[in-house]
Structure 1
């Protein structure tokens, strides 16, 4: 992906007392964080003691076809029979239809409050149904730590007890945040692979845009359709690529004046670059080595003009580095 960008702001809305605007070169469909995750604390705290008692128990539809028309296995049918004994019938029926008909991406990190709003169901009934579904092993429940600026998922765990850090840092936004339940923690549900296998169960197979859509950004990020999102990413990145484990690549590009970020969403690693001064006549160089034990890096100063950037993946998994234009 290679393109020049234009300046705009993508506004991200958190709880009513917090509003953060992240300066980006482009716009992700206006308001990013919709109402359901703002009220996550109100609804989920009512069920928190129930959630803690639920242990995480342990046919493939491809891509994002509009309808999978998948028939549930007899084992899954039995699970739904049990679920109907402990949850209201309307949300259970809606969940069953979702599993049978929805594209893969709709079964990854389901926001129960958004699901209730979409299907015009009682929030408490829906939350109870998803929690019981997690107890039965239909869903895997996760507690996600979010960046309040960009809506990216900084960390994730099966229970709230896995949230151990006193402070989290989003290396994309250079934003520090405390994991407060009312602001930056969301609870989501992903279909268990024993019920239906989806692409997000193996994130290393997801294309660049789908990785951001399904894995990096939280359920509260209101993204546009595929075409609009691809256009936005093209306009806000100088280049992007996929690096297999151990792979190394060199990119040649033109740095625009302003602010640029090299960022990998898999490792959550970044290099911020402030670009100003007289245009460089000779090519500048930069190295971005992706390792698990990487140390936080400060902002580097560079001049507008040609840049050769070496990208090296020293992990045992695929990475997705990109060079983002911020301003």
Structure 2
């Protein structure tokens, strides 16, 4: 016997902006936990015929009744609406189609929330259960928002909508926090971490991003990262590594150590293999240590909008169908992409007088009819025709990566990380690319004569103290010493401005160092930025490639008490600001570097006077 679909609509008004409600209801993994749904096991994405791809999902209702369904991609427009379709293969339901719609009232601080759920029972049990399960879940969704309103004044951090009873080993946590407070961390941040580990839900303490939590706590992100590193060292936390797909930006696989990292990984959603890359694809994250709290990372949803917050629109367009939309107002770079096929269209944002009022795009198996379109966000209408022989999923997504991800490129360039976790290295023979890294080389001028003048013992002491001085200056500017080569030092930084600031500090304060140590050290410094390869060398992360070679050759152009760098550094706004605060002389020149075919334009920086303060 076939049962007809039953549609339910619940509508309520809330004194919240659409953006805030979207943030709450768009986090479907957290929402599903709150409304009493069950953990789900999802298979990799698969596609049959010309239909849209789906994930096979399995769960047990109340831990007893098994259900299996095909979950098709969520469809959404950020801050406006989302919906999802599920076709059940086992269980009391046959089909579900549901989601939310948000309508802004005259006052932007008020929003109408409409919940829509269309349920088709498979059998009499499913029909009888609808009022007690489906409708109840919809009312609990509204309760989720009401609970937020009643709690938001007391808790501005990531919202936990109901009292969570966690088995936390408080004596062990307190003991370890005492140890942590004696380490070089901001101890005022420890209560934030304590409250988070004690009160938050399991998934909040098994996939922790320091920068994301810093935003919720309203504190310094780098200090929170430092806190997490030392908390890991004393045994409050564990660290792990996620491999992130460069397209959908969802974690695909996790590793306990960098040595387990593989060169290539596969994204089932995008259908493509990718090379591991330190710059964006490898992320450091933290979880609570089992001795403090046993927490389990279970999935309740893997396709909701907040899983991929960089995607502003996601839409299934059936073969032969047309979809019309308006690119949302957004100040960052956007593009249109077809999931799995990965054909893209770049979106160029222009003033309204430079764009058409309407743009049409045609999609075929071979790709898009245009590679770039010019639009005025919030104003230009876009019509997409799916002329391919199969259904497609189209997304409008931001190009920039989240700044709240601690990448392997960033963390492995920090001296504290290298000192605390020296065992975190790549496997022997493993090579991982980095899109952009800054390499600094320094060397002593006249080191041979130094040994002749003061003798081996005194000269060696001066050299060792100068290594300590360089390490301090490099570490203070978010860099780390990779290795020493004789009297020379090779250092790495994640950002050019950090390396440049370190070079300024090194040369600006070297006279003070000499006065303090009765020395006469003259340093030659050069730096360069570009792509490199990270490898394991003598059980440490080292860097090789053209960028490293050029940085070494640029340092060779230094004459002492100066800094030599590529002229492109002067285009960096942060470096420009750094230079405005210094009394320096800049001299441009061309140089032919050994092993480099073309002449390169460099800049020599010298301080007009040495700061001995």
When normalised by structure 1's length, the TM-score is 0.45
Structure whose alpha-carbon radius of gyration is higher = 2
Greater RCO (Cα-Cα under 8 Å, separation 6 or more): 1
Superposition TM-score, scaled by structure 2 size: 0.25
Q: Give the structure with the higher percent strand.
A: 2
